[in-house]
Structure 1
Amino acid sequence: MLKKSVLIPAALLYTFALATLSLVNLNNITEGSPKNSDKAFHFLAYCLLALVWYIVFKYGYKWSQIKALCSAGLFSISFGVLIEYLQGNFTETRQFDVLDIAANSAGVIIMLLILAIKKKTEHK
């Protein structure tokens, strides 16, 4: 059984790690990478963010499927927009990028669709 006392700290830890990686200077790590190659990372990172928070809401708080999906989606997309705002306004080495928001949001939406479809096929 998944316990709220484990799920919430795990979700907060992942969220904090993602925020940290999004706000620190990674120029020396990403040097020589193809242009826009970071979009795959954004997509996958936000797929996982949506999944982690969906699990917290669905199994930790025992919310309904639709409430857990909507809450995880709203939280994850809002978090992505907030991080981009912070990059554009409070860091010197990162910048606001609408394409990052698009990649983040696409990752969230795809994960939520997978979860919704998976749940529907389990009931057949």
Structure 2
Amino acid sequence: MLHAGAYLLLVLLWKLFFVFKSHDFNKYRSNLIRIALLCFVFGMIMELLQGILTSYRDPDWWDILANSTGVIIAVVFLLLVAPYLKALRHRIH
């Protein structure tokens, strides 16, 4: 739960930063896919480095699965709320 929640929050915050910083909302999905892929890769690298760089931690496939689950939940959520974010962004700008 902690891993999934952390990666869900990572994707949400990163995407919301780009939603309000970017001037082109049409790239919403492509940016979201890039963010999701980067978070997947980041999670896998962190797990591998845990096993390589430390003697007291082991890489765990369940952690990678939990990280990926958080990313997927965030992507689905952001796709569902895209119209509301677009309206909010237009009201702010």
- Pick the TM interval, shorter chain: 0.7 to 0.9
Extract unaligned runs of 5+ from structure 1. 1-39
Q: Matches of 1:94 and 1:45 in 2, distance apart?
A: 19
User: Per-residue CA shift, 1:57-99, capped at 9, x if unaligned?
Assistant: 3322445211221121011111100100100111111111011
Greater RCO structure (CA 8 Å; 6+ sep): 2
Q: Could you tell me the TM-score, scaled by structure 1's length?
A: 0.61
Instruction: Give the CA deviation at 1:113.
Output: 0.3
Q: Could you tell me the TM-score, scaled by structure 2's length?
A: 0.79
Counterpart in the other structure of 1:94: 57
Q: Matches of 1:107 and 1:62 in 2, distance apart?
A: 27
Q: Matches of 2:65 and 2:9 in 1, distance apart?
A: 16
Give the share of equivalent positions with the same residue, in percent.
35
Counterpart in the other structure of 2:2: 41
Amino acid at match of 1:66: R
> Quick one: which of 18, 34, 39 aligns to 1:76?
39
Counterpart in the other structure of 2:72: 109
Instruction: Give the CA deviation at 1:53.
Output: 1.4
> Quick one: which of 35, 39, 48 aligns to 1:85?
48
Maintained 8 Å contact 1:77/1:104: yes
Deviating 4+ runs (over 2 angstroms): 56-63
Counterpart in the other structure of 2:20: 59
Q: Matches of 1:82 and 1:97 in 2, distance apart?
A: 12
Aligned residues: 83
